[in-house]
Amino acid sequence: MKVLKQKWRFFYSGLLGVIMLTTQCNQTSSTRIIRLGHGLDVTHSVHQAMLQADAYLNELSDGKMRIQIYPNQQLGSERECLELLQIGSLDMTKVSGAVLENFAPKLKIFGLPFLFDDKAHLFRVLDGPIGKELLKEGDDFWLKGIGFYDSGSRSFYTKERPVKNPQDLNGLKIRVQESVSAFDMVKQLGASPTPISWGELYTALQQGVVDGAENNPPSFYLSRHYEVCKFYSIDEHTMIPDVLLVSTHLWKRLNPQEQKWLQTAIDQSVPYQRELWIQSENESLQAVISAGVEVSYPEKTLFQEATKSLYKEFKKDPEMAHLIERIRNEAN
């Protein structure tokens, strides 16, 4: 407990130093600096899109607003960044919809396996009325959603054997995000769900704390998890978008024109990120195959059948049942 307290004291001391430095810079400039922290590598399409958003914002505001980005968990994990947004110590972050469901319960809908038929179906939902409603779910918790980035489809990767059917997951310890729906899905498939932070996962795989994980191709490649896990089974069980969030503490300080500039810059970065994502997915798959990973495509219907009881649980809540129906209607 003492070590944990020291860890947090050092973390917040470092963050306070960053904030004070940024504040001092702001005091000597007419430019409003928006601080954005996230956990991904600088080569990731999400980080590249954030840089593009900053360029758009600089142009739209004629230099009056900029986004200062802190990647690679410099300011903490996804959950820690969310908490910093809530107290107003950080302005923006990017989190997986799976992590955000702990703060905005309706977003657990993205954790339902095989909810979307394909990318076109997903984008119709994200870009339409349903997506706009879901972005508002965190408002009461000081987390204002302002956009979705593509995060592809999540699939299983393992150390000792490929996952060709749900039975192959029996007895395996699979890393999951801090998400109840992800926990329930992996458990339903016969594996033991094990929440581990993204930054600690490589070591956990190496040391056998877990036998595998599940994620999209760019994350599998850029994290170098392919060095430990030599089997990638692309079942594409979930499509969980990344969510861009602004602290409502910041949003209320922005005037209407500044709010419009920021929202427009993010909106303009979304198609750019989606284009980069497609390229990144293809390159990542080729790279892991070249590194000796066995990539397979198991029969999805086997996994759909094994997880269909999760829909019954969701539909016990009338609101969630209606949301599922609306999303499925967008398939056509």
- Where do the structural domains in the chain lie, given as residue ranges? 154-239+282-329
pLDDT digits 0-9 by tens, 115-153: 999 999 999 999 999 999 999 999 999 999 999 999 999
- Asked if pLDDT for residue 244 goes beyond 90, the answer is yes
- Asked if pLDDT for residue 299 goes beyond 60, the answer is yes
Confidence at 8, pLDDT banded by 50, 70, 90: very low
Token look-up 């795989």 returns 205
The whole-number pLDDT of residue 18 equals 52
Q: With a threshold of 0.85, does the pTM exceed it? A: yes
The whole-number pLDDT of residue 103 equals 87
CA distances from 72 to 36, 37, 79, 94 (A): 12, 8, 14, 12
- Asked if pLDDT for residue 10 goes beyond 50, the answer is no
281 CB contacts (<8 Å, ≥6 apart)? Answer: 152, 216, 217, 218
The whole-number pLDDT of residue 179 equals 87
CB contact at 8 A, 40 and 94 = yes
Burial of 121 (0-12, 13-18, 19+ CB in 10 A): middle
In this structure, of 27-31, 37-41, 274-278, the range with the lowest mean pLDDT score is 27-31
The whole-number pLDDT of residue 15 equals 54
Count the residues in the chain.
Answer: 332
The two beta strands, 173-176 and 192-195, are: parallel
What percent of the chain stands above pLDDT 90?
84
What's the rounded mean pLDDT across residues 63-82? 94
Q: Which CATH superfamily is domain 154-239+282-329 in?
A: Bacterial extracellular solute-binding protein, family 7 (3.40.190.170)
pLDDT digits 0-9 by tens, 32-44: 999 999 999 899 9
The residue among 53, 78, 68 whose CA lies nearest residue 21 is 68
pLDDT digits 0-9 by tens, 174-229: 999 888 889 999 999 999 999 998 889 999 999 999 999 999 999 999 999 999 99
Cα–Cα distance between 264 and 152 in angstroms, integer? 23
